Amino acid sequence: MRILSSLLIIFFIALMAVSGTLIWLYMSLNGRHDHTKTNNIVSIPRGANIDKIVRTLQEDGIIDNALAVKIFLKITSRTELIKAGDYRFKSPISAIEVLDVLETGGTEHKSLTIIEGWNRFDIADAMFKSPTLKLKNQAEAMALLTDVSLIKDLDPGAKSLEGYLFPSTYYLQEDTSAKQLVAQMVAKFKSVYNKEIAFKAKLAKLNPHQTVTMASVVETESKLKEERPIVSSVIYNRIAKNMNLSMDSTVVYASKLAGKWKGDGKVYKSDLALKSPYNTRLYKGLPPGPVANPGLESLMAAVEPAKTNYIYYVRDPYRPDGKHDFFATAQGFELGVQKLRKWEADQRKAGLR
């Protein structure tokens, strides 16, 4: 009897505890409370975990009991129903009503994709065309892309943020400013330019400025991931032989800086003759700064070039993917050029060029 009585007491206590917990949970989830953020936007980013979401809601005063919300979401498995987006919440509001709003979805985030190999002129144009950023003109965007204070720790001599605006897709909330976006791009670069790349750059005797400049040329000269270390080796080999790099992407950048680029994809004699240190047809060594914004593969190729004796390459005209033929001698290079010229002549005859 004593054992039975003890079991009954334990059961009663457990029942009271469960009942108390359920009552607390119900009151916490359904009780409405006032908050002062009715005009504020609460942003739920893509990929945010539930702890971060609930913490954000509590910090903004939208919910007042994060633990109860997390327990409820755990029990009901409703976490997968919460959608990323921008939200406004009425006041007063209950936690259950907040979750209902999050499940219906808020204003969808806009995005801006920065393509690998884009330079700051391309990025400024894309930023200006994004309605979310509310820029008056491209010049306003370009001014933000010269805020070198953001990279003073990496490249104290930089003249602009060229090379340090990491190519990626950035999600824009309704209140995201152009300045905030630029800071995100630089922060993303810094996260990618990690200790591994910095260490390998040091082994290659490159500082961050040289690394990014090298990577930017690799990025603009090669479309295929597997070719980037090879193109990088050509750059190293040419510099070692005191040869001009003679790479068209640097000439194009020089032309853009001078405001002379025609934008039709063709490099003209007037471009080749530009007296610009970015014109590697005329000046030896790397250009004085990056000519584009490189991705991770190009950064890695800059610090880990392939081991080759190549000093020339020519686009393979019969490959639509941008593949190159590489050569170690001037004779081989001339054969590659002849192959390209023949293809171009055939295209003209066929009326395709």
Q: What is the mean pLDDT of residues 110-137?
A: 94
Q: What is the pTM of this model?
A: 0.74
Angular region, 61: left φ>0, alpha ψ -120 to 50, beta rest? left
Query: Mean pLDDT across the stretch 286-294?
Result: 97
pLDDT of residue 161: 98
Is residue 47 one of the residues assigned to a domain? Answer: yes
Q: How far apart are CA 132 and CA 181, in angstroms?
A: 11
* Mean pLDDT (whole number) for 119-147: 95
Q: How far is CA 132 from CA 38, 86, 110, 128, 186, in A?
A: 21, 13, 7, 9, 19
Considering only residues 189 and 101, tell me which one the structure prediction assigns the higher pLDDT.
189
The mean pLDDT value for 273-279 works out to 95
287, pLDDT greater than 90 = yes
In percent, the amount of the chain with pLDDT more than 70 equals 91
| Distance of alpha carbon 7 from the chain centroid | 62
Q: Is 337 inside any structural domain?
A: no
Q: Are strands 42-44 and 85-87 parallel, antiparallel or unpaired?
A: antiparallel
Mutual angle of helices 208-221 and 248-257, in 10-degree steps = 110
**Percentage of the residues of the chain whose pLDDT score is greater than 90:** 58
- In total, the chain counts a number of residues equal to 353
**Which among 113, 91, 98 is positioned nearest to 44, based on CA atoms?**
98
pLDDT of 59 reads 83
Answer yes or no: is pLDDT of 4 > 60: no
Average pLDDT, the chain: 88
In a domain, 342, yes or no: no
Q: 10-52, pLDDT tens digit by residue?
A: 655 655 555 666 687 677 778 787 887 777 777 777 767 888 8
Contacts of 36 by beta carbon, 8 Å cutoff, 6+ apart: 61, 91
Evaluate if residue 312 carries a pLDDT over 60. Answer: yes
232 and 171 both lie in a single domain: no
Is the model's pLDDT at 249 over the cut of 90?
yes
Range of the domain at 234: 195-310
| 137 and 43 housed in the same domain | no
Specify the pLDDT at position 127.
97
pLDDT (mean) for 279-305: 97
Query: What CA–CA distance (Å, rounded) separates 272 from 282?
Result: 8
Residue 175 located in a structural domain:
yes
Question: Given pLDDT bands bounded at 50, 70 and 90, which one contains residue 240?
Answer: very high
Q: Given 191, 210, 241, which residue is the final one in a domain?
A: 191
Q: What is the pLDDT of residues 176-228, one digit of tens each?
A: 899 999 999 999 999 999 888 999 999 999 999 999 999 999 999 999 999 99
Considering only 65-69, 154-158, 200-204, 245-249, which range has the smallest mean pLDDT?
65-69
pLDDT at 5 (0 to 100): 60
Q: Are residues 302 and 207 in the same domain?
A: yes
* Whole-angstrom distance, CA of residue 185 vs CA of residue 208: 17
CATH number of the domain residue 98 falls in: 3.30.1490.480
Residue 92, in any domain of the structure = yes
**Total count of domains within the chain:** 3
pLDDT of residue 13: 61
**325 lies in some domain:** no
- Region 273-301: mean pLDDT is 96
The answer to whether residues 303 and 199 belong to one domain is yes
Closest of 63, 293, 31, 78 to residue 188, by C-alpha: 293
Q: Are residues 213 and 301 in the same domain?
A: yes
